[in-house]
Structure 1
């Protein structure tokens, strides 16, 4: 004869497991749909979606990318990008003016899937838009190149010295006096200016333009052709120098020169740097030939600009609240040549990702990380080639024997993590991030999906991978007490066939410790990963699924509010779910569980027909085929009576899918209208376990007798018992318990206590679950079962 036994399930917040039932935790479920697990609210119905506004009257057959802008507390926007259009709305659904020229929109051409081909980054009023299929090019425009010209510089005037200048085949000279004069006579005159003017006068010819200023002679041909020039003196060529294109030392340059004259300093062994260019700028900007200073410049006749049409564009918020999509003015190369100040490595390549790190705008391109100058987000060229500046642009490559095309980046407590499809790299640097300290170090080798952007949860990073027809999710973490040890845990190890299709988006809320996962193939569902860390220990790791009543185009969090861009047959809508713990609707003690929820203010209520006792109503959106809304009264003020009355929907209008007829007269009453959704939770097979978290004991026979649920604030619940090969028995709890304090007339009862239902089946031949399609909530704290256990042996 068996003995009566009982066992507790301490909570129901561990989510779904696809492991064999006998090795699961007792707190894990067989299935969990439209239920949400929380360490504070326990197992409850998922948040309802509130209708905000209709954004567009037609869907996106070629897909769209959704990006949100959280500028400040007052200004938040949602942006919809396609290959041909950009739309911006505030979070109340009001459309903003977006101006974009045809030339600017061509940057979006070539996009096949906006969600995977576009990347976004918002910094203040600028939202950078990156097209991953656009190859970056340099502009064909070249730096200005002057006609051939030369300077003759009289560095020193000495007595009894001959100065020679040979221009093409003509040689002229000037010899200074010996400086010897009688005692009663002044000394011989000696002036570098006199020497320069004398030589210039001798060199003048019809084919040349010769000018002298102070101690410098400026020579060039009138027809702009080249010429040869040589200069020497009888003092070992130390008093006279000449240069056309280059000079060995900076000290050889005169202090008087033509405006804009460019010369290359090619250096010598005594210099720590060489091969840079200088341009002369007179002190008086109006002077074309005078005294001034030499400034570092760029080599003439080389490309010096990025082609702005191929670089990321920006959606810029204007002062009047409108937006403009336009190309950006990227800084030009201002010094060096094509070797010393090379174009960024992304020229000739596509950009894979854009991110912001240490006050630098950064791109990933093939194996390179390219970062702008500090604080100068549009400058990707060095500011000088004569020294190494910490704030200059960074262009560093990741090196590894495996594929190292960098696809995305994530910032978390362990630093900057870079992802390729097979490896992860860490950007290492000292306190100061500079070319002298930066390096890209491979740290782990986990396969990652390049279709989805990893997302940081603060101290960890979630990234996706592909497992055939299903998607997987990994959580990357830096191990405690060690910044050099990194690992990634497979958080879908116990649900390997749960996320159907390829993961397209990851959305994380650090406020609520929840991660939302969208799939490319199943667009009407959101997979939810709920986690909770207690110090370095994760005490919750739960998966479930939200089935929505439309296709989910994009999701984003603003604090605890989750905004959903939804696509239905009649267009695109903006809706909102509230993940706040214990969230309640206005004036109510609970949240009404209706999708696309609206109040009476958004419903057109026509005149009441007394004869048929019916009223026609029109919603602001169309209903899907076969879907009927729920119309239920709500409290007009806190504590008011009369809420919970349902107006039965008799029929929908076949021609106008927004209209339907209800029984009764809702005019003048406060009510909610919305689409019902069904919440389901299926228990794992009940069994005796070796310990609280141990494996199930499968020997013997366990005949289940009953199930007891401890609930909180529950208004409606169905307990479903389905024995194998037999019909389902449904036990309905309406929230009303005779004699209970919450059972008051005119009010919706929310019951907190114990609910019990019979099972009367073998534990391995019965499926037990709970379900609700009502507008009322339920919250299950824990459960227990009892049954008769028979065994022929005794465990030792």
Structure 2
């Protein structure tokens, strides 16, 4: 019986699902195509040549620095140094006052720009502390008077050595009536004068404070007493029980421990005496400032920590060590070294107003919110929400955190094997932050994590020999209701190898992935939704002839990509994904390496014209020229010869126009099935019997000449039908053509699973926009294929 089928559009991209289970609209194969709900299935956009990176030879790491519309830069590591080009191709000056050792010896570099700094870190570098410690000042004692009383004996006892002391004492008794004797300076001076100490000691006094010291740092004991209140005289040696025991005149740099609970050290804190005069030495008036415990390490080794790149007002850049905060309080009990010390830093992110460092030991360390370079507590007296965060998610298997994603609703930490939800009770601080497992997808986080919208991230999936794409969506504003969706379920093996880099546009809902198993292709994922429901989920690769995409990024709907050609020349191109973009001739010119040429780029010799180019076409690249003004506007010239930075075309012309290289496009329709309604609702593919496709019909719009290829799998040569006129029938020149629209019938004459129907641009740089597809077949429900 005669049956018919139709496919409203072919925008669903490639599917590797079993053909009989597919929904209509998927393709068996495609290349250099791009489908949207608005325009249907079209050729992918052509690429505008932006610049050539002169002098770039062997880049090992890349970063995009996009400050604003006037300051856009490509940063690369080449030859052990940073090289930075603006989008005009100018190489900017980069100074490195601390040298290039950190970069030149790096095993794997990471980059992130946060505010005014681009942080650069070596994932293989172990973070260390320097030998700097809080100074030891344990050789001094200060005896001081709170008040003087009448008829009171004040005594100072010095025992030395501390482990088997001999005692040296001085006493003074004030008068019962003479007010001069109870002055603090009088009492201290009398004690100073009568205290006789052995060799090695020194003493001095100022106002109400008496200093007793040993230059050799040997330990000794000091006790004091008075027979009035018992509180008039105080000895401060190495510790006190309360801050009211501290004098206002003491030895500059003297340290003391303020004991909290006398049975435990956990709530101890430390103070250092700071003089009122910045240049004061010895016994001076001043005050006590909280400090780290004497002998405790205080300083990160900046040569092992992330470095920073800054953009200067004069347009130059500076690469240097960062200035990190030092430990100013506590000890290894109440302010231990951050967990990244002794570990490697795997990722850096801005996290809820803090600088967040992820580590090889599975921890997240966040700076203080008021100082992104400080990872130490402000005070050991009390932990606050403004102190750093250092947390290790609990999980029964080992893992390395490699990425963090901040949703509008919260924070997710990602390892390759497991992902965690971070909770904080509304206040992101060390007292409230906690984690719990969220999912356990097998991801490629380091190169494959991409925040796409405020409520969505995507990340490359790790398969045995291929890459996929996993989506994390929090549509309700709550991470507890996270929606997980694999965007690559239809193409489990399409992307060969592991992810090298990923880029995406939130405005166009597009993700671009480069994998290491395919040097000349990018895999482009396009998604469209309606009221939260996905109505398009399409994968189609883009191929670049003899060129390798090295790095890419989006600026709104513009995709910028750095490509290395077979001559080891690096260039950058821009691909606009904005719908309905047109060139001056009213249709888009589908060429890569596109350059708009003016009259001074043309040289006419004999019957041909040579065009000067900013690049050299490689073997396999065909060069075309399309005039955009004058009577030849819309004509197409194909180069008859290619040279270094030039191409020669038949005919005489002088511009203006567009020149570029071809990017042939094709789309192959999947196996066709007759679909019928089933009881209970729904539609299914009919797979019993034999379906012979008799004819097909394709609708198209705004298209130049293109081919319909009917490929019989049991025949060597396909049947090919040209829609429109043949190109280049007259020596590499095609006169201007009008765009076509309508429909085209073509014969098929083959069983459905033994034929492929393909739409191909050939070598045309003109549009090809495919709409719906229909077919007529003969269905025999009882027959079986031979």
SS of the equivalent of 2:528 reads: strand
How far off is 1:675 after superposition? 0.8
How far off is 1:747 after superposition? 5.0
Partner of residue 447 from structure 1, selected from 432, 437, 442: 442
SS of the equivalent of 1:295 reads: strand
Partner of residue 182 from structure 2, selected from 180, 185, 190: 190
Count of matched residue pairs: 759
**Pairing of 1:580-595 with structure 2 (within 5 A):** 580-585=578-583, 587-595=584-592
Query: Measured at CA, do residues 68 and 691 of structure 1 come closer, stay the same or move farther in structure 2, by a change above 3 Å?
Result: farther
Q: Name the residue aligned to 2:605.
A: 608
**Pairing of 1:424-443 with structure 2 (within 5 A):** 424-443=419-438
Q: Quick check: 1:562 aligned with 2:553?
A: no
Q: Name the residue aligned to 1:513.
A: 509
- Structure 1 residues 65-85: Cα deviation after superposition (integer angstroms, max 9, x where no partner): 221112123211111124712
Contact 1:595-1:674 at 8 Å conserved across structures: yes
Q: Name the residue aligned to 1:461.
A: 457
Q: CA RMSD in A?
A: 2.5
Q: Name the residue aligned to 2:13.
A: 15
Q: Name the residue aligned to 2:90.
A: 94
Q: Name the residue aligned to 1:203.
A: 195
How far off is 1:699 after superposition? 2.6
How far apart, CA to CA, are the structure 2 residues paired with 1:59 and 1:729?
46
How far off is 1:224 after superposition? 5.0
Query: Measured at CA, do residues 245 and 83 of structure 1 come closer, stay the same or move farther in structure 2, by a change above 3 Å?
Result: farther
Farther-moved stretch of structure 1 (614-623 vs 417-426): 614-623
Partner of residue 324 from structure 2, selected from 308, 327, 330: 330
Q: Quick check: 1:683 aligned with 2:669?
A: yes
Q: Name the residue aligned to 1:777.
A: 767
Partner of residue 717 from structure 1, selected from 673, 697, 706: 706
Query: Once superposed, which parts of structure 1, at least 4 consecutive aligned residues long, lie more than 6 Å away?
Result: 269-273
Farther-moved stretch of structure 1 (727-736 vs 588-597): 727-736
**Pairing of 1:34-113 with structure 2 (within 5 A):** 34-57=32-55, 59-60=57-58, 64-82=60-78, 84-101=80-97, 103-112=98-107
Partner of residue 263 from structure 1, selected from 252, 256, 261: 256
Q: Name the residue aligned to 1:741.
A: none
Q: Name the residue aligned to 1:232.
A: 225
Partner of residue 110 from structure 2, selected from 113, 116, 119: 119
How far apart, CA to CA, are the structure 1 residues paired with 2:585 and 2:378?
62
Question: Is there any run of 5+ residues in structure 1 with no aligned partner, and where?
Answer: 737-744
Partner of residue 23 from structure 2, selected from 22, 25, 31: 25
Query: Measured at CA, do residues 119 and 602 of structure 1 come closer, stay the same or move farther in structure 2, by a change above 3 Å?
Result: farther
Q: Name the residue aligned to 1:739.
A: none
- Structure 1 residues 381-432: Cα deviation after superposition (integer angstroms, max 9, x where no partner): 1111111221111111111112232111122244211111211101111222
How far off is 1:606 after superposition? 2.9
Contact 1:313-1:327 at 8 Å conserved across structures: yes
Q: Quick check: 1:254 aligned with 2:247?
A: yes
Contact 2:49-2:594 at 8 Å conserved across structures: yes
Farther-moved stretch of structure 1 (279-288 vs 575-584): 279-288
How far apart, CA to CA, are the structure 1 residues paired with 2:254 and 2:55?
62
How far off is 1:509 after superposition? 0.6
Contact 1:403-1:423 at 8 Å conserved across structures: no
How far off is 1:643 after superposition? 1.3
Q: Quick check: 1:671 aligned with 2:657?
A: yes
How far off is 1:755 after superposition? 2.5
SS of the equivalent of 2:194 reads: helix
Q: Name the residue aligned to 1:401.
A: 396
Contact 2:598-2:655 at 8 Å conserved across structures: no
- Structure 1 residues 339-378: Cα deviation after superposition (integer angstroms, max 9, x where no partner): 2222111001000100001110110012111000103111
Contact 1:110-1:133 at 8 Å conserved across structures: no
How far off is 1:223 after superposition? 5.0
How far off is 1:451 after superposition? 4.4
Query: Measured at CA, do residues 22 and 197 of structure 1 come closer, stay the same or move farther in structure 2, by a change above 3 Å?
Result: same
How far apart, CA to CA, are the structure 1 residues paired with 2:666 and 2:548?
20
- Structure 1 residues 133-178: Cα deviation after superposition (integer angstroms, max 9, x where no partner): 1110011122233361110122332233222212233533334346
How far apart, CA to CA, are the structure 1 residues paired with 2:460 and 2:516?
13
Contact 1:154-1:239 at 8 Å conserved across structures: yes
Partner of residue 407 from structure 2, selected from 399, 412, 418: 412
How far off is 1:49 after superposition? 1.2
SS of the equivalent of 1:201 reads: helix
- Structure 1 residues 750-787: Cα deviation after superposition (integer angstroms, max 9, x where no partner): 22322322223222221101000311011112221123
How far apart, CA to CA, are the structure 1 residues paired with 2:350 and 2:631?
54
- Structure 1 residues 504-541: Cα deviation after superposition (integer angstroms, max 9, x where no partner): 21211101100001102212110011112223311111
**Pairing of 1:619-768 with structure 2 (within 5 A):** 619-635=613-629, 641-652=631-642, 656-666=643-653, 668-691=654-677, 694-726=683-715, 727-734=717-724, 747-768=736-757
How far apart, CA to CA, are the structure 1 residues paired with 2:180 and 2:575?
97
How far off is 1:17 after superposition? 0.5
- Structure 2 length-normalised TM: 0.92
How far off is 1:442 after superposition? 1.1
